[in-house]
A and B are shown apart, each in its own frame.
Chain A
Amino acid sequence: MIELTVNRKKRRYRGPSFKRLLDVLREDFELTGTKEGCGEGECGACTVLLDGEPVNSCLVPVAQAEGSRVETVESLGASSRLSPLQQSFLEEGAAQCGICTPGMLMTAWAYVRGGGPADPESVRTALAGNLCRCTGYQHIVAAVVETAKREKRKRARAR
């Protein structure tokens, strides 16, 4: 049995320990927000935060996530109550078909939460491991820059 924390809740997984973290999340924990796009670690659609770092969950056997903290898109907000990052995505038109969006949001969230600079070049570098075929990235970058700016102002006020 493997214990891990998913979206702040302790969860237990009983099954083959080599099952991918992606499949454990989607099938055993019924968190289908995280998607599979390639199985190669190239597209980033499966991105979750593992102990705070964006990783491709399609390449992580769940055993290697034992005792770790996993965060998925479901931890950000619900459609009735979007987080500031999600709200920004909505307003900037950053999601079109939406399949890359959960992974994109997790990478973006780690970046913003980590105090990443609010300039387009740095944001683009941070998101380089998340492929999108619909948007051409511009609106995504705008949404993340906007959110990073807001996060900086929030931190400045908090000091």
Chain B
Amino acid sequence: MASVGTSFRRKEGPEKLTGEARYIDDYPLEGALHGVTLRSKVARGILRKIRFDPAFDWSSVVVATAADIPGENAVLLIEKDQPLLASRELNHLEEPILILGHSNRAKAYEALEHIEVVCDEEEPVLTMEEALADGAVFKRFEIVKGDLDAGFCDADVIVEEEYRVPHQEQAYIETNGVAAWEEEDGTLVVTGSMQCPYYVHKAMLGLFPRAPEKIRVIQTTTGGGFGGKEEYPNLIAGHAAVLSLKAKRPVKIVYDRAEDMRATTKRHPARIRHRTGVKKDGTLVAQDIDVLMDGGAYVTLSPVVLSRGILHATGPYECPNVRVVGQVVKTNTPPNGAFRGFGAPQTLFAAEMHVEKIAARLGLDALAVRRKNLFREGSVTATGQVLNESVGAKEVLDRAVAVSRYLPRKKECERWNRRKSAPSWRGVGLAAVFHGAGFTGSGEVYLQSRATVSLLPNGDIEVEAASTEIGQGTTSILASIVADALEVPYDWIRVSTPDTARVPNSGPTVASRTCMIVGGLLKRSADELRRALEREGVDWPPKPSSLKRAARKLCANGRPFGFVQEYERPREIRWDDATYRGDAYGVYGYAAMVVELEIDKITYEVTVKDVVTAQDVGRAINPLLVEGQIVGGTAQGLGYALLENVIFDKGVMANANFTNYAIPTTLDTPPMRVEIVEIPYSLGPFGAKGVGELPMDVPAPAVAAAIHQATGLFLTELPLLPERISKALHDRAHRQS
């Protein structure tokens, strides 16, 4: 009867398969206006005037500007630097200036064409390097361990390289969409596609001050997020709300694909420099790493992205002397934000490719260099954290290497490549990564997450948490954890819609924290509920009739009888924000991947033939869902590695459509062999850690390493396009002649 560890069915599966599940644009909304956004056409400037064409019929149009914001014109996240609507300064192309609404969507867009924005254009800062030179730094962090100079003195060889990674677009198939209206009792309701209802709630309080209970945020079925709906919904929700309050009618804003790609957040581009001292046998003795990220025009979540980035910058390796310096700078481009991995895919690409480079320099196999330095129980990280449990680094590496037959396959590829007449080059590449589960540092303490398990008046058991289902299986795994804690069938557990009027603030659905942190809270809540019910005379495991009886007694006035748990940092976890030392994360997940690919000698196109990956998730609450996360995350990682090229032109994405921004199709994604490894975490529910982001970190360096083996080309910039492979081959031939 136990569900944890089995592939129980997704709770909301049937509705998604029949078209019954409703996404925000599926709700008809009586009397609603369609809201559209007027956006800046300059990357930097001062707004002077907004002119409405007098020849246009404005009678059916409602317009909201910054002047209509009753509270503070700021989208609250970490800082308050981002206005909801620009009123004077324009800091990036696509920056929102006003919202207008019409009952007909096409007419709303037409109205936009009849507004002229007069501004004084200024010279924008469009590159990271320029911003850095100007000192436009949002945040700087430094991690120091040991004595870097001494480490370099001790080194036999010093290896240096610079790596670059571009923007990446989340490309959820459902674009951003939100609706807002005010109820008769003055409650502002916001509903839509989102990952974090309480982020939206907090932002709305700042914009539209009122009692907290007078703002209600409800998540609708969400068609993918990947971080792209973590903080961005604060902005679109504010837009829908400000127009709705002005018009005194409901407002729905749904972006079309081009607008979503141009205007919303993307993965931070980064430049990562490594200078590494090693012994001849591959032992790391000094790591000097410089990370520079482009935050775009406003702070949003950049400091946290940078933080996670630098905390993963060393790779899963122990080194006695480390310095990581990270900076995120301001450019006049649309603000960048959360995307699965959140800084780690960027720095881990560099870290893992650097291991390839070191190995090549030393004449060693990259696998051997990894084994020499890989984290194990007792290892000390760059922040001084002792990894004292659940360290599956060696297990995943060994498993991936064994299942893929990495070493023999490598030799076979070498033999193939020696044949001049072969139509392709073949290569096998390996990468190993780690990914901290939960919020960085003191983040989880700051969040003070809460979650509840309740007995409802009708005898049902309900999970109440703000964690959102966005495809990853939240609803189902939280239900499973509670079901097994209570020793009742999985089907008995209901999960409330994430509605701020009904669920406590469990923190955002991000950072691979939902299963481990929120699941952990719910397990404890379930334990408390069980104890209380047993005290009331309910025999355990209970029958539905006994729960109904207990509910009749305990749910006085028709209110649920529930237990809420609040996050408490385990005593074992210690972190110092000031010195950036200590336990950066409660625990880490580990993954290794072997990619085998083929490069066509005529077109230089890369075809990934085989992927084998082993990932340590602590405990797979649902193996099918875990496998789904791993395969899906790997596909996105392969896109990042090979296909997804965000082209920026004068400060905005130029290829903002699916025609020209290529995400993987069925034919770009190989079959994958997934090995789930379970090294349980004592503080995770049933031993579980996290899995949402881990798969995103490992494909790109594995692919680049395979291309290296196939061609001898050491490529340091993503994506690894055929154009770049062709050019690198050409340049090499030129150098050699």
A contacting B, Cβ–Cβ less than 8 Å? yes
Contacts from A to B (Cβ < 8 Å): 26, 31-40, 42-43, 45, 72-74, 76-80, 82, 86, 89-93, 95-102, 105, 120, 123-125, 127-141
- Across the interface, which residues of A come within 8 angstroms of B175, CB to CB? 37
Do B18 and A77 have beta carbons less than 8 Å apart? Answer: yes
Do B472 and A96 have beta carbons less than 8 Å apart? Answer: yes
- Across the interface, which residues of B come within 8 angstroms of A132, CB to CB? 173
Task: Closest A residue to B226 by CB, please name it.
Answer: A133
A42 to B659, CA, bound (A): 6
Task: Pick from B237-245, B504-512, B570-578, B632-640 the stretch touching chain A.
Answer: B632-640
Minimum CB–CB distance for B508 against chain A, Å:
17
Task: Closest A residue to B21 by CB, please name it.
Answer: A98
- Across the interface, which residues of B come within 8 angstroms of A42, CB to CB? 657-659
Given A40-B659, A136-B635, the answer on whether A97 and B473 have CB atoms closer than 8 Å is no
Do A135 and B671 have beta carbons less than 8 Å apart? Answer: no
Q: Considering the complex, which residues of chain B in the window 222-281 have a beta carbon less than 8 Å from any beta carbon of chain A? A: 222-226, 256-257
Do B16 and A101 have beta carbons less than 8 Å apart? Answer: yes
Do A133 and B173 have beta carbons less than 8 Å apart? Answer: yes
Q: Considering the complex, which residues of chain B in the window 617-632 have a beta carbon less than 8 Å from any beta carbon of chain A? A: 624-625, 627-628, 631-632
Minimum CB–CB distance for B517 against chain A, Å:
21
- Across the interface, which residues of A come within 8 angstroms of B174, CB to CB? 35, 37, 97, 99
Do B666 and A43 have beta carbons less than 8 Å apart? Answer: no
- 15 A–B contacts from the bound complex (CB under 8 Å): A31-B19, A33-B18, A35-B23, A45-B173, A73-B19, A79-B20, A86-B14, A86-B17, A86-B18, A96-B472, A96-B628, A100-B223, A101-B17, A133-B224, A133-B663
Minimum CB–CB distance for B315 against chain A, Å:
24
Do B657 and A105 have beta carbons less than 8 Å apart? Answer: no
The 8 A CB mask of B464-487 against A (1 = contact, 0 = none) is 000000111100000000000000
Do A95 and B16 have beta carbons less than 8 Å apart? Answer: yes
A124 to B670, CA, bound (A): 10
A95 to B628, CA, bound (A): 9
Contact of A128 among B17, B624, B665, B672 (CB under 8 A): B665
Known contacts A98-B471, A120-B671, A139-B631; 4 further A-B pairs (Cβ under 8 A): A34-B19, A78-B18, A93-B625, A139-B627
> Does B109 sit within 8 A of A, measured CB to CB?
no
Given A39-B256, A82-B14, A138-B671, the answer on whether A97 and B665 have CB atoms closer than 8 Å is no
Given A77-B18, A79-B14, the answer on whether A93 and B257 have CB atoms closer than 8 Å is no
Do A137 and B19 have beta carbons less than 8 Å apart? Answer: no
- Across the interface, which residues of B come within 8 angstroms of A131, CB to CB? 173, 658, 663, 665
Minimum CB–CB distance for B148 against chain A, Å:
40
> Does B26 sit within 8 A of A, measured CB to CB?
yes
Do A139 and B665 have beta carbons less than 8 Å apart? Answer: no
- Across the interface, which residues of B come within 8 angstroms of A124, CB to CB? 666-667
A132 to B664, CA, bound (A): 8
Do A32 and B19 have beta carbons less than 8 Å apart? Answer: yes
- Across the interface, which residues of B come within 8 angstroms of A99, CB to CB? 23, 172-174, 223-224
- Across the interface, which residues of B come within 8 angstroms of A133, CB to CB? 170-173, 224, 226, 632, 636, 663
A80 to B13, CA, bound (A): 11
Do A33 and B19 have beta carbons less than 8 Å apart? Answer: yes
Q: Give the interface centre of A39, A137, A139 by most chain B CB atoms within 10 Å.
A: A137
Do A73 and B666 have beta carbons less than 8 Å apart? Answer: no
Q: Give 10 nearest A-B pairs by CB, closest first.
A: A33-B19, A99-B223, A97-B471, A98-B16, A79-B14, A136-B635, A96-B471, A42-B658, A136-B631, A32-B26
- Across the interface, which residues of A come within 8 angstroms of B23, CB to CB? 35, 99
Do B171 and A36 have beta carbons less than 8 Å apart? Answer: no
- Across the interface, which residues of A come within 8 angstroms of B624, CB to CB? 92-93, 139
- Across the interface, which residues of A come within 8 angstroms of B473, CB to CB? 96
Do A137 and B666 have beta carbons less than 8 Å apart? Answer: yes
> Does B25 sit within 8 A of A, measured CB to CB?
yes
Contact of A90 among B10, B173, B221, B471 (CB under 8 A): B10
Minimum CB–CB distance for A44 against chain B, Å:
9
A124 to B25, CA, bound (A): 29
Minimum CB–CB distance for B737 against chain A, Å:
41
A84 to B99, CA, bound (A): 46
- Across the interface, which residues of A come within 8 angstroms of B60, CB to CB? none
Given A40-B657, A97-B222, A99-B224, the answer on whether A90 and B632 have CB atoms closer than 8 Å is no
Minimum CB–CB distance for B641 against chain A, Å:
14
Do B172 and A138 have beta carbons less than 8 Å apart? Answer: no
Q: Give the interface centre of B172, B173, B669, B671 by most chain A CB atoms within 10 Å.
A: B173
Q: Considering the complex, which residues of chain B in the window 160-206 have a beta carbon less than 8 Å from any beta carbon of chain A? A: 170-175
Do A127 and B666 have beta carbons less than 8 Å apart? Answer: yes
Do A138 and B672 have beta carbons less than 8 Å apart? Answer: yes
Minimum CB–CB distance for B633 against chain A, Å:
8
Do A89 and B17 have beta carbons less than 8 Å apart? Answer: yes
A92 to B634, CA, bound (A): 18
A31 to B26, CA, bound (A): 9
Minimum CB–CB distance for B378 against chain A, Å:
35
- Across the interface, which residues of A come within 8 angstroms of B659, CB to CB? 40, 42
Do B18 and A136 have beta carbons less than 8 Å apart? Answer: no
Contact of B631 among A34, A73, A79, A138 (CB under 8 A): A138
> Does B410 sit within 8 A of A, measured CB to CB?
no
- Across the interface, which residues of A come within 8 angstroms of B664, CB to CB? 136
Task: Closest B residue to A80 by CB, please name it.
Answer: B14
Contact of A136 among B10, B17, B669 (CB under 8 A): B669
A26 to B174, CA, bound (A): 15
A82 to B175, CA, bound (A): 28
A45 to B19, CA, bound (A): 12
Do A105 and B663 have beta carbons less than 8 Å apart? Answer: no
A39 to B22, CA, bound (A): 19
> Does B123 sit within 8 A of A, measured CB to CB?
no
Do A136 and B634 have beta carbons less than 8 Å apart? Answer: yes
